[in-house]
Structure 1
Amino acid sequence: MRDIASNIGPVQAVAPQVLSAANTSAAIDLLGFNSAALVINTGAIVSAGDFTAKLQESDTTTAGDFTDVAAAHLVGTFPASLAADSVVKVGYIGHKRYVRTVITKNGGTSIAAGAVIVKGNPADAPVS
C-alpha cells in the first residue's frame, strides 16, 4: 500500500506563528499509536534569534510531570539552534502516553515556526 495518510495521525502542537518568547505545547495523547515524530517547520529569524527545541514526555497531562525525553528515546537529534527556513524531524520511541514540544528563546528577537506531532503505527487503521 502506498497510502501513508490512512496510517498517521498528525496533531498540531504549535500553530505556525512568530514566536518572540518560549512556547510549550499542550499535552498530545499517543494512545492508540505505537510511534511518533516531531516535525518543526521554521521561517524567518529576526535579530539573530537563537531558539532551541526539545520534546518532553509524561504518563499524565499534569504540567509538572513532564520531563525531557532521554536521547536514547529519540531517533535523530535536535539542532543546537533552530535555523531559518528549515525543517527538523525527530522520532520518539519512548513509552509514555503523552508528549509535548518546547521551543525556548535563548536570544534575539523572534522566529517564525510551527510544530506537528505525527503519530504513526496505529493500533486501529485506517486513521480518520
Structure 2
Amino acid sequence: MKDLHSKIIAVQAIGAAVLAADNTPGAIDLQGYDSAEIVLAIGAGGVTFSGTNKIEFKLTHSDDDSTYDAVEADDILGADDVGAGGIIKALIAAHASAAVYRYGYKGGRRYLKLLADFSGTHGTGTPVAAVVIKGNGYNKPEADQA
C-alpha cells in the first residue's frame, strides 16, 4: 500500500453544518502546494430543489487574496460544466440522499474561496461540508492532523 497520508493536508472550506443561507467563504491559501482537490459532502436536501430553490457551489480564485475571479472550465477537473460565476455544482433537482463530489483545481492561482450560494426559500436547511485537500507540497512529509 502506498502512503498518501504524508503527501496531503486537508483544509476546511465550508464547516460541516445544516445551512439554509449562504456561508461566508474564507480564503484557502495554496502556497507551497502543486495540487488541490475540492471535496463537497452534501446531505439529503432540506427542500426539494428546483430552478428557483437551489444551492450553487461557486469557486473563485485569486493571486492576491483581494480580487477574486470565477473559475472557468479549464481550471477544474471532474465538473461536467462550470456555470456563470464559477458554479462547479448546482443542486436544482431533488437530492434525496447524502453524496460526496470531488473536483480537481488546476487553475494555478494562490487562493481559493468556495461559496454555497442559496437562492429561493430554504425553510429547512441542507447538511453541507467542504474540504480542500492540498497535495504535492514542498514540505514532506506533511504534519499529522489528528
How far 1:121 sits from its partner (Å)? 1.0
How far 1:107 sits from its partner (Å)? 2.8
- The residue number in structure 2 matching 1:38 is 38
Distance 1:28 1:79 in 2: 19
Gaps spanning 5+ residues in structure 1: where?
A: none
Distance 1:72 1:6 in 2: 28
Query: Structure 1 residue 107 and structure 2 residue 109: aligned?
Result: no
Which segment is superposed worse, 47-56 or 69-78? 47-56
Normalised TM-score (structure 2) = 0.79
Normalised TM-score (structure 1) = 0.90
Q: Whose Rg is larger?
A: 2
- Name the aligned partner's letter for residue 114 of structure 1: A
- The residue number in structure 2 matching 1:126 is 141
- Name the aligned partner's letter for residue 91 of structure 1: G
- The residue number in structure 2 matching 1:60 is 64
- The residue number in structure 2 matching 1:48 is 48
- Name the aligned partner's letter for residue 19 of structure 1: L
Distance 2:89 2:65 in 1: 27
For these two proteins, the number of residue pairs brought into alignment is 126
Which segment is superposed worse, 42-51 or 94-103? 42-51
Distance 1:73 1:14 in 2: 20
SS in 2 for 1:23: coil
Contact preservation (8 Å) 1:37, 1:117: yes
Query: Structure 1 residue 3 and structure 2 residue 7: aligned?
Result: no
Instruction: Give the CA RMSD over aligned residues.
Output: 1.6
- The residue number in structure 2 matching 1:80 is 90
- The residue number in structure 1 matching 2:85 is none
Gaps spanning 5+ residues in structure 2: where?
A: 80-87
Contact preservation (8 Å) 1:51, 1:106: yes
The structure carrying a bigger strand percent of its residues is 1
Q: For residues 16-55 of structure 1, give each alpha carbon's deviation from its aligned partner in whole angstroms, at most 9, with x where no partner exists.
A: 0011111242001001100101101011321224211121
